[in-house]
Amino acid sequence: MKLEILTPVHIGSGNKYLALDYVIKGNKVVFIDPMKFFERIEKMGLNPVEVARGIGQGERSIEDYVSELSDIKTREIPFNGRNKRREILMHIKSNERLYIPGSSIKGAIRTAILWKVARDNRDTLNWVINYIKELVGKKSLSKRDLIKLDDRLEERVFRKSCLVEKKDDPKNDLLRALRVSDSTFLDSYSVYEVKFLGMRNFSVLAECINPEQSAEVETNIDEFTLHYLKTRLDFDYLLSATREFAEEIVGVETERNYPEKAKKEFRNVLKAKGVVLRIGWGTGWYSSTIGALLKTHPEFESVRKKLGLGRNPRIRRFSRNFPLIRRITFDNKPLGWIAVHE
pLDDT tens digits for 290-324? Answer: 777 777 778 777 777 776 776 666 666 777 777 77
Output the furthest CA–CA distance in the chain (Å, rounded): 73
CA dihedral angle for residue 259, residue 264, residue 270, residue 271, rounded to 10 degrees: -160
| Cα–Cα dist 132/289, whole Å | 15
Query: How many residues are recorded in the chain?
Result: 342
Backbone φ and ψ of 9, nearest 5°: -125, 130
| Cα–Cα dist 235/241, whole Å | 10
Amino acid 241 reads A
Amino acid 122 reads R
Going by pLDDT thresholds of 50, 70 and 90, the confidence category of residue 248 is very high
| Cα–Cα dist 175/107, whole Å | 10
pLDDT at 207: 98
Least confident of 233-237, 238-242, 302-306: 302-306
Q: Which has the closest alpha carbon to 13: 80, 97, 81?
A: 97
288 pLDDT exceeds 90? no
Distances (CA, A) of 327 to 15, 49, 79, 283, 335: 20, 36, 17, 7, 8
Q: How many Cα atoms occupy the beta-carbon half-sphere of 184 within 13 Å?
A: 10
Q: Span 12-37, mean pLDDT?
A: 94
Distance of CA 50 to the CA centre of its chain: 36
274 pLDDT exceeds 70? yes
Q: Which helix (H) or strand (E) holds 276?
A: strand 275-278
| Cα–Cα dist 202/193, whole Å | 10
| Cα–Cα dist 260/258, whole Å | 6
Enter the pTM of the model: 0.88
Percentage of the residues of the chain whose pLDDT score is greater than 90: 55
Amino acid 317 reads R
Condensed to tens digits (0 to 9), the pLDDT of residues 136-178 reads 655 555 666 666 677 777 777 777 655 555 666 667 778 888 9
Condensed to tens digits (0 to 9), the pLDDT of residues 64-105 reads 898 888 889 999 999 999 998 999 999 999 999 999 999 999
Is the CB of residue 317 less than 8 Å from the CB of residue 311?
A: yes
Q: Span 218-228, mean pLDDT?
A: 85
Backbone φ and ψ of 208, nearest 5°: -130, 145
Q: Across the chain, what does the average pLDDT equal?
A: 87
Least confident of 9-18, 250-259, 298-307: 298-307
Contacts of 276 (CB under 8 A, 6+ apart): 6, 242, 243, 246, 269, 270, 337, 338, 339
